[in-house]
Amino acid sequence: MLTFGTDGVRGEFGKELTENYAANLAEVAMQVLRCKVVVIGRDTRESGLLLETAITKALVTMGVEVQLMGVAPTPAIAFAARKHGVVAIAITASHNLYQDNGIKIFGSGGRKLSDAEQASIEREMIARDAAVSDWVTTNSQAADDMASSGAKSGVARPELLQEYCDWLVGLVPPDALKNLHVALDCANGAFSHVAPEVFSKLGATVRTINATPDGRNINLQCGATHPEPLSEVVKSAGADFGIAFDGDGDRLIAVDGDAQIVDGDHLLAISALDMKHRGTLRNNKVVVTVMTNIGFHQAMKNAGIEVVTTPVGDRSVLLALDDESLSLGGEQSGHIIYRDLATTGDGLLAAVTLAVLFADSNKPLSEIASRAMTSFPQVLINLRVGKRVDDVDQLFESEIATAEKTLGGSGRVLVRASGTEPMVRVMVEAPQQDIAEKVAATLAEAITARLS
């Protein structure tokens, strides 16, 4: 049975994540959350409509009012939940390829589920697991019977997506970006039409790539996980900078005018320094994860900003933001959370915020980013494993200790299990690139030998 990872439930469609499982999970979640109205949106995967239909049937059967946004970015779905005070479901596997899909659940008001809520849902799912086939058969038939007798199905609410677009446009003065030329890589995902519309309404000249989703090309050699095509477009088009989103739009990676990557650490550092200057960095703190580069920590220390570090995942960042009443947090992967404005990572909100800051600065993004922080060389190796590995710190304690001894206190080693895929991630930071590469390769080889 699938369990909650760092960001919802995710797996290969038709194998790990089936329509029956999705329907069952949705019903259990709505019972735990005592939900009467739910908003549902999905990204552009071909399996999204099948999962949406299965979930809608199950929830309508149990008397929940289902409002359908259709294809919509995850932050827009969370925004609808926040604006209208309802529960929401995003059907997405984020940055994964089309073969996978997933379910993210937002509690009433667009908030991430608490640990206790997730645990309650998982316990109920385990309790039902043995009878899941009988449950689905019975309830699917009930849904079919209700449909044939004129019962309500999901209600189409496309205006909810427009509300999100209008909100973003209304955050900044009209034509605030009128002198900006930006390139957007929409990852053939949920921002394919939304992001160009928002930037155009703000007056920017927009060059868009990878905005023709066909159900199978989401994240395929494009978007935030593959920003190289965007770099080429920024260079050839002479754009001021570029933004690459992931498939569901909750994160971004930037490319400066010199076609160099500006990752989430730099984007977060830029915002932290700007917000401190404007007096909006609440309690003078910023939240990051264990993957954040050492260079970020040094830059924040030099600026007099305290850094709060959490496990990987924007959900962990959000919990820390709420626990300490903070206003800014994020991840190196590009999740940027402006907590006063949103309840989850929002790639387009972060992109608009960066664009306004750029327009006001009269400086190239390369200069803004380099002034914000200097990264230590960082090497990340993903080791695919047969099944999820837990307690990696203890399991590979001796291998990690050997790597740390090699660095001699001048760098950092992190080994962790992926929260969304069957992978062990090995990360090494060092003052020089060749040292980081050598230590990471040696460590990865030792871990692979243990796992084989």
- Amino acid 138: pLDDT: 47
Of the candidates 159, 192, 215, which is a domain's last residue? 159
What is the pTM for the complete model shown?
Answer: 0.88
Q: Which of 94, 108, 192, 375 is catalytic?
A: 94
Residue 131: per-residue pLDDT? 56
Q: Mean pLDDT lowest for which of 5-14, 266-275, 342-351?
A: 5-14
Residues 359 and 388 in one domain: no
Mean predicted lDDT score pLDDT of the chain: 92
The 10s digit of each residue's pLDDT in 37-91 is 999 999 999 999 999 999 999 999 999 999 999 999 999 999 999 999 999 999 9
**Would you state the pLDDT for residue 132?**
47
Is 94 part of the annotated catalytic residue set? yes
Domain contains 327:
yes
pLDDT of 142 > 70? The answer is no
Whether the per-residue pLDDT at 135 is higher than 70: the answer is: no
Overall number of domains in the chain: 3
* 329 and 203 within one domain: yes
More confident residue, 128 or 21: 21
Q: Would residue 164 count as lying in a domain?
A: no
pLDDT at 1: 66
Residues 269-325 pLDDT 10s: 999 999 999 999 999 999 999 989 999 999 999 999 999 999 988 889 999 999 999
Q: What is the pLDDT of residue 3?
A: 77
Q: Given pLDDT bands bounded at 50, 70 and 90, which one contains residue 421?
A: confident
Residues 441 and 329 in one domain: no
344, 372, 400 — which closes off a domain? 372
Contacts of residue 350, defined as CB under 8 A and 6 or more positions apart, other chains included, come to 252, 267, 271, 334, 336, 338
pLDDT for 133 equals 46
Q: Which domain holds residue 58?
A: 9-159
Do 310 and 178 fall into the same domain? yes
Give the pLDDT confidence score for residue 6 in this predicted structure.
66
Q: How many residues does the chain have?
A: 452
79 in the same domain as 36: yes
Domain end point (choices 318, 339, 372)? 372
Task: Specify whether 151 is located in the same domain as 185.
Answer: no
Pair of tokens at residue 310: 């959490």
Query: What is the side-by-side order of every strand in the sheet holding 336-338?
Result: 306-310, 285-289, 328-330, 336-338
- Stretch 253-270: mean pLDDT, rounded? 97
- Residues 356-362 have a mean pLDDT of 95
Is residue 4 one of the residues assigned to a domain? no
Of 23-37, 146-160, 271-285, 407-421, the one with minimum mean pLDDT is 146-160
Same domain, 354 and 389: no
Q: What would the pLDDT profile of 196-229 be if each residue is shown by its tens digit?
A: 999 999 999 999 999 999 999 999 999 999 999 9
Residues 405 and 435 in one domain: yes
Does 193 lie in the same domain as 56?
no
What pLDDT digit, counting tens, does each position of 324-341 carry?
999 999 999 999 999 999
Query: What is the structure's pLDDT at 312?
Result: 87
